[in-house]
Structure 1
Amino acid sequence: MTILHSTQEDLDSIFKIYDDATEYQKKQTINYWKGFERSLVKKEIDEKRQYKIMADDEIACVFVINYDDPLIWKERNADPSIYIHRIATNPAFRGSSFVKQIVEWAKGHAKETGKEFIRMDTTSGNDKLNNYYFNCGFADKGIAQIGFDEELPVHYRGGSVNLFEIKL
């Protein structure tokens, strides 16, 4: 298992993984991803914030990091943090505990970049996923109500999210 920066050549594979993840979400909960703009993912790749986990010469999982997230974390965004978003696993690798591996990677990356927190969020109401995040070492930081800001992906707008955090 290797974590690498995603490349523009990975775009089709990334979107296939996102599509598969969305279909899986639809079977698990009423809150699921509503799609992402290719231009957003291209920008994340150019900014070296989109990552892939490689296993058996295949993209097994993808995720994105940010260093601020004011629309979700509001005043707590001032804390030096790394934010993990859009973890999606290739169905052939489901059950591989990639979040735990991402957390270990993020701990090192956060320390290298002077961050004190690793944070995540997920739409409210998915107890199974929430419990998985607890098992990965995250603490519950409550529920945030999200506005209709157009900068947010559609699935966030006007909803609520569970907030999770690991203090380093």
Structure 2
Amino acid sequence: MHERVTIRPADLSEVEAIASMWQETSKWLHSKGVDQWQYPADEEKITRDVTSGTAYVVTSAGKYLGTITVDENADPEFWAKKDLPTEAIYGHRIIILPHARGKSVGATVLDWASRKAEKAGKRWLRVDAWKTNTELARYYEGQGFEHVRTVDLPHRRSGALFQREAGTITGAGPGFLGLESPLHEPDGTRSTEGQWGWYAG
């Protein structure tokens, strides 16, 4: 197990690294017979997420362990008005690299996101998962998420919806240092003013 991981905002120079994490995970999933993410990463979308300050990378000892994007953007095809979508933070593009699996890094990333949702005054941390990835569904349930429902739309491969109460911490993974920073400046550079960190574990 890693002693502690760092979760920090991604920089524009790391868009390619995040896309590479997607590709590596896609190949790993294919080797396991899972049809999830069998297409190239959308680097334009990753760039938008990095620029908006919602894409994060997970590192330890200078090495990438994974990535996560968290925002308040509820997918309207999945989350209905009855779900009170503004009361949640949503996790997207959650990747733990194959070499970091089995070390409970995923549990740490979800604990970090849960704490982040709580700090934002939200009630829920929510994710949507690939409908056919039953192992991933079991994993989320094992991490304290409840299965809300599965939205089965023919043009969407994701749609298994899960949520966990904001602030719920399993403590199953290594501790983390969570860094935050203001958004990028208009010229695309990231301001370092006001950067702060918080610890857990």
Give the TM-score, by structure 1 length: 0.85
Instruction: Report 1:125-164 matches (<5 A).
Output: 125-146=132-153, 157-159=155-157, 161-164=159-162
Which residue is equivalent to 1:57? 62
> How many pairs were matched up?
159
Three-state SS of the structure 1 residue aligned to 2:99 is helix
User: Structure 1 CA distance, aligned partners of 2:24 and 2:77?
Assistant: 27
The structure carrying a bigger helix percent of its residues is 1
Shift of 1:7: 0.6
Match of 1:86 among 65, 87, 93: 93
Match of 1:97 in 2: 104
Confirm whether residue 116 of structure 1 aligns to residue 123 of structure 2. yes
Partner of 2:30: 26
- How far apart are the structure 2 equivalents of 1:61 and 1:27? 19
DSSP-derived class of the 2:103 partner = coil
- Per the normalisation by structure 2, the TM-score is 0.72
1:103/1:160 CA distance change after superposition, 3 Å: closer
Q: Name the aligned partner's letter for residue 67 of structure 1.
A: E
For structure 1, which runs of at least 5 residues remain unmatched after alignment? Answer: 148-156
Change (3 A) 1:130 1:65: same
Aligned to 1:67: 72
Is 2:36–2:133's contact at 8 Å kept on the other side of the alignment? no
* Cα distance, 1:5 vs structure 2: 0.4
Q: Which runs of 5 or more structure 2 residues have no equivalent in the other structure? A: 167-201
Match of 1:8 in 2: 12
For the residue of structure 1 that corresponds to 2:132, the secondary structure is coil
Q: How far 1:89 moved relative to its partner?
A: 2.0
Q: Secondary structure at the match of 1:145?
A: coil
Highest RCO, 1 vs 2 (Cα 8 Å, sep ≥ 6): 2
Q: CA deviation at 1:61?
A: 0.6
- In angstroms, what is the RMSD of aligned CA positions? 1.8
Structure 1 stretch 122-131 or stretch 27-36: which is displaced more?
27-36
Q: State whether residues 29 and 126 of structure 1, in contact with CA within 8 Å, keep that contact through their aligned partners in structure 2.
A: no
Tell me the percent identity: 20
Match of 2:175 in 1: none
Amino acid corresponding to residue 19 of structure 1 in structure 2: Q
For residue 79 of structure 1, report the CA deviation from its aligned partner.
Answer: 4.2
Aligned residue in 2 for 1:41: 46
